[in-house]
Amino acid sequence: MKATLVIKNIDNLITLRGENKARTLEDMKDVGSIKNGIIALKGEKIIYVGEGELPSSIRIDENTVILCGKGKTVTPGLIDSHTHLVHGGSRENELAMKLKGIPYLDILAAGGGIHSTVRATKEATFEELYYKAKKSLDIMLSYGVTTVEAKSGYGIDDFSTELKQLEVAKKLNEDHPVDIISTFMGAHAIPSKYKNNPDVFVDIIVEDMIPKVAERNLAKFCDVFCEEGVFSIDQSRRILQAAKEYGMGLKLHADEIKPLGGAELAAELNCTSADHLIAASDKGIKEMAKKGVIANLLPGTSFNLQIGKYARARKILEEGVPIALSTDYNPGSCPTENLQLIMSFASLIMKLTPEEVITAVTINGAASLGLEDKVGSLEMDKLGDIVIFDAPNLEYIIYHFGINHVETVIKEGKVVYEKKL
């Protein structure tokens, strides 16, 4: 067999080999490191991962791209499994309010926050949204991200804007090397029109929007902002049950700010992931463990909202819940595309080990998007989504924080990003 791309002499090859499923505490310890590793690809797929030299069954010729991993750390492409990628405008005007200590939910209740991004997204053309999101995707790719989840949710009751966001994500998925998995999140805020009768808006989401999104095949998942003053537990349940009937996978913004019982609901509904969990209860965490719901943690949001509280990552792991980590990239609660910074936060603030962190942004991120059979680890027959970090080891990437350690990104067997020297 002829290899089309080979990375050889890799000082620290982190394969994440093992079962194609979300990993829990014990299984997060061994990340399948190989010293003096070598990896060979044929087309978009991995054909060999090992130590030292290639076996004689794998040939190379003058067309084979050969990269050198001396002094480098090589990992699977990173997966950012929770973002609000496609949106109009920005919200730096909220900084002054934040510095005065005005809470996020108060800004939202006063018609700002998500509502101001809804206005900006409605006003933006398809092209404007496309190029703004593309710029963010380029940044994500440069930080080693090869798969991104992208939510709608800045149209809310204006369904054409919801569709516009999902169509932009679809087009970018076709045009851009980074893969995009779409989530329908019409239930992101209560539109002012339905302030006094939110159940009418829930009816519209359930009876009209979800069937139409499903019919157009525009979203793999459905998500709800289950929060005090936003969607209640009962409303969230109704929406997610409808989404399930239409074949969508389920996600939930659960217990982000107030302990509403989102973790319990995510377990009850067998959600693929429950995200945020800053205020999740002990009971909710235990129920998630029983059902195998992935905890998608977003420490950048705690940091940026300045709420002084982070999800209890160690407790969550010790209860047997698998953890994924994401940016939550959005213009309000977490305006950053930098997943490496989130990895440092997760370790330094939430006390996750480097092994737990890399598992959370690779195979566990893949599992939270239903992609664990395709990406998230470096093994035979998986896609050749690979990052070469200019770093001697994993600890270094996390320790030397706030900068970009990526040297090269390979997506489906092709070099798609190289750091300019």
Of 126-145, binders to ligand NIG (CB under 6 A) are none
The binder of ligand NIG chosen from 8, 23, 72, 84 (CB under 6 A):
84
CA 375-378-382 angle, to 5 degrees, is: 50
Q: Could you tell me if 337 and 300 are in contact, meaning their C-beta atoms sit under 8 angstroms apart? A: no
Q: Locate tokens 């204006």: which residue? A: 158
Residue 331 sits in the site that holds ligand NIG (CB under 6 A): yes
CB of 98 to ligand NIG, least distance (A): 12
CA 330 to mean position of chain CA atoms: 12
Least gap, CB of 342 to ligand NIG (angstroms): 13
- CA-based max dimension of the chain: 71
- Tell me the three state secondary structure of residue 237: helix
CB atoms within 10 A of CB 95: 10
Q: Which of 33, 37, 36, 45 is CA-nearest to residue 5? A: 45
Q: Is 191 in the site for ligand NIG (CB under 6 A)?
A: no
Determine the size of the site formed for ligand NIG (CB under 6 A): 13
Interface with Fe ion by CB under 5 A: which range of 31-39, 207-215, 305-313, 325-333?
325-333
**Of 328, 356, 372, 412, which lies in the binding site for Fe ion, with binding defined by CB under 5 A?**
328
Query: Given the complex with Fe ion, which of 80 and 328 has the nearer CB atom?
Result: 328
Contact flag: residue 256 with Fe ion (CB under 5 A): no
User: Of all helices (H) and strands (E), which one includes residue 185?
Assistant: strand 179-187
Report the alpha-carbon distance of residue 24 to residue 290 in Å, rounded: 12
Evaluate whether 346 touches 340 at the Cβ level (below 8 Å). no
Nearer to ligand NIG, 82 or 220 (CB): 82
In angstroms, give the least distance from the CB of 153 to Fe ion: 8
Of the residues 69, 284, 332, 413, which one makes contact with ligand NIG according to CB under 6 A: 332
Least distance from ligand NIG to the Cβ atom of residue 256, Å: 5
Length of the chain: 421
Cβ-based nearer residue to ligand NIG, 162 or 385: 162
Asked if 37 and 383 touch (Cβ cutoff 8 Å), the reply is no
Task: Kindly state the smallest distance separating residue 107's Cβ from Fe ion, in Å.
Answer: 16
Task: Kindly tell me which residue out of 162, 256, 319, 412 binds ligand NIG, with binding defined by CB under 6 A.
Answer: 256
Interaction between residue 264 and ligand NIG (CB under 6 A) = no
CB 264 within 8 A of CB 284: yes
| Distance between CA atoms of residues 409 and 222, nearest Å | 30
Q: Is 295 in the site for ligand NIG (CB under 6 A)?
A: no
Which residues contribute to the site for ligand NIG (CB under 6 A)?
84, 113-114, 117, 225, 253, 256, 301, 328, 330-333
